[in-house]
Amino acid sequence: MYKLILCWRYLRTRWIALASVVSVTLGVATMIVVNSVMAGFSHEMQSRIHGVLSDLVFESHSLGGFPDARWHMDEILRTSGDDVLGMTATVAVPAMLNFQVRGQWVTRQVMFIGIDKKTHAQVGDFGRYLQHSLNREQLSFDLREGGYDTHDSQSDDPTPKRPAMEDAGWPHRRKRVERERIWREKLEAVDAAEHPTDRAIDTVFPATNNSANTEIEPLVPPVFENGDATDNALPSNETPATNDPFLVARPQEGRTMDPSQEQFVGIVPGIGLASYRDVSGVDRFLILPGDDVKVTFPTAGTPPKAVSDTFTIVDFYESKMSEYDSNFVFVPIESLQRMRGMIEPQTGIASVNAIQIKLKPGVNPEQVRDRLRRIFPAELYSVSTWRDKQGPLLAAVDMEMAVLNILLFMIIAVAGFGILAIFYMIVVEKTRDIGILKSLGASASGVAGIFLGYGLALGLVGAGAGLAIGLAITWNINSIRVGVEWLTGQRVFDPSIYYFFKIPTIVNPFTVSWIIFGAVVIAVGSSVLPAIRAARLHPVEALRHD
């Protein structure tokens, strides 16, 4: 009993010892904040990756893919039907995306992904990442009349950071076509009067329109292959513009269309391909929904031949993973299969590159993966979980967290040595009291118990204070960030780098318990040596100590 009372009294009267646990407090607080923020980032990243990738990806090694997705899906259902929630087929090919900004051709290397608009949203968060509210409910590859979000629908901040999107859709397309018509008429007039070489310069560097979103699409009377997107394309006598390199490679067959009323096959590029964020945090767009782009991609044959086609942007995809947002372009799978020649002419059976599988909640993806790997030969198919796909990235994040934790625990260990030194001094200071207790019949282990208990109490106080401070910082980290930015005038957290508007945090009770436990163990551990010294003190010598 005396141990408890003395621990309590020492705790209340020895402020210097409390000073020694300040380092424990700071260490614990830092660890909680760092772990929560890292876990927040990691979780945010994983959920974005997972939103893009389905639970399981079943794919072919070949760019040409494998035929008959239906049969494969039935096979998958036959072996793992109980675990599967949804499946969708995709075709993914590397491609070049080309578009013109103020007369200059911009080319981006992209992953061109054919998706089934009906089922794709079932296997991931794809739907959530689109910019039109109706598309978020059900994706359509038809251009919308308007109503695209002018703010980031995934952030809480309702201020419109994307004013250009106000106009996106058919209004933008009609304006553009009208502008081009005027240009064409002017050029024709000029052409009639002047030397043809001057005209080319004017076309390439038009003097009007400084806005980034009003690039001049050259006079492209789009020519469709049979049966594409437009059923009621109007015949036109317009001649194709000669400065469009893609038209040269394309067979001039079929009808032309009226771009102010019709669109090409719709595509959804990642928002990073089309926009950039300026210093004020406003997103500027190079192209908008309603604009046409050209994509060059390989056919399915051997050797693959490059084919090109024109597409109309109908929405943007924003997963907030810049790797995906600046790389992915989504297109209707049927169009891509047809353009790449993936449909068997006799049977009409189409090939696909991959089947994305969504599993039921709680199902272990590794188990299903291994089951599928046993059935489908590894020479032909690869089956991987979304974690396998992003293994190195996730491993790097885990590694980073582990190293940080080790370093921060070192800080607490340093604090442990501080406790040891101060405890040693307290034992020296309390030598006479120890002698008194021994003269009253306290045992050596009892005396050691006082100091171990004292260490435990200090550890608990230090870790408890650290817990409180750490949680307070974690839960208010965004206000703190704003405060620090206001104080220093420096940007602490730039959303244009991270694509998060707030610092994400997750307080994991398990991690927090471990941190607290570790800190308390260190505090008790560093009081062991002083406690042993106290226990070994000779009562007579201790009583004589002044």
Task: Give the interface with other proteins as residue ranges (CB under 8 A).
Answer: 1-2, 4-6, 9-10, 13, 432-433, 435-444, 446, 538-540, 543
Give the nearer residue to other proteins in terms of CB position, either 177 or 543.
Answer: 543
Minimum CB–partner distance for residue 537 and other proteins (Å) = 12
Give the nearer residue to other proteins in terms of CB position, either 313 or 537.
Answer: 537
Give the nearer residue to other proteins in terms of CB position, either 367 or 439.
Answer: 439
What's the Cα-to-Cα distance from 475 to each of 37, 220, 466, 472, rounded to whole Å? Answer: 10, 55, 14, 5
Minimum CB–partner distance for residue 461 and other proteins (Å) = 17
Give the nearer residue to other proteins in terms of CB position, either 404 or 543.
Answer: 543
Give the nearer residue to other proteins in terms of CB position, either 305 or 544.
Answer: 544
Q: At what angle do helices 391-429 and 528-536 cross, to 10 degrees?
A: 20
Minimum CB–partner distance for residue 14 and other proteins (Å) = 9
d(CA 432, CA 545): 6
Minimum CB–partner distance for residue 433 and other proteins (Å) = 6
Give the nearer residue to other proteins in terms of CB position, either 211 or 439.
Answer: 439
Residue 298 contacts residue 340 (beta carbons within 8 Å): yes
What's the Cα-to-Cα distance from 138 to each of 50, 88, 118, rounded to whole Å? Answer: 20, 15, 8
Minimum CB–partner distance for residue 447 and other proteins (Å) = 10
Instruction: Name the burial class of residue 75, with classes exposed (0-12), middle (13-18) and buried (19+) by CB atoms within 10 angstroms of its CB.
Output: middle
**Residue 86, SS3?**
strand
**How many residues are given for the chain?**
546
Give the nearer residue to other proteins in terms of CB position, either 115 or 542.
Answer: 542
Measured between its terminal Cα atoms, the distance across the chain in Å is 26
Give the nearer residue to other proteins in terms of CB position, either 9 or 305.
Answer: 9
d(CA 223, CA 309): 10
d(CA 275, CA 456): 56
Minimum CB–partner distance for residue 528 and other proteins (Å) = 20
How many CB atoms are located within 10 Å of the residue 144 CB? 20
Give the nearer residue to other proteins in terms of CB position, either 491 or 538.
Answer: 538
Residue 444 contacts residue 527 (beta carbons within 8 Å): no
Minimum CB–partner distance for residue 85 and other proteins (Å) = 56
Eight-state DSSP code of residue 143:
P
Residue 139 contacts residue 127 (beta carbons within 8 Å): yes
Give the nearer residue to other proteins in terms of CB position, either 104 or 443.
Answer: 443
DSSP annotation string for 294-332: EEEEE-SSSS--EEEEEEEE---B--S-HHHHTTEEEEE
Minimum CB–partner distance for residue 525 and other proteins (Å) = 24
Minimum CB–partner distance for residue 9 and other proteins (Å) = 4
Minimum CB–partner distance for residue 541 and other proteins (Å) = 9
Tracing tokens 């004020």 back to the chain, one arrives at: 280
d(CA 448, CA 434): 10
Question: Kind of pairing, strands 104-115 and 381-385?
Answer: unpaired
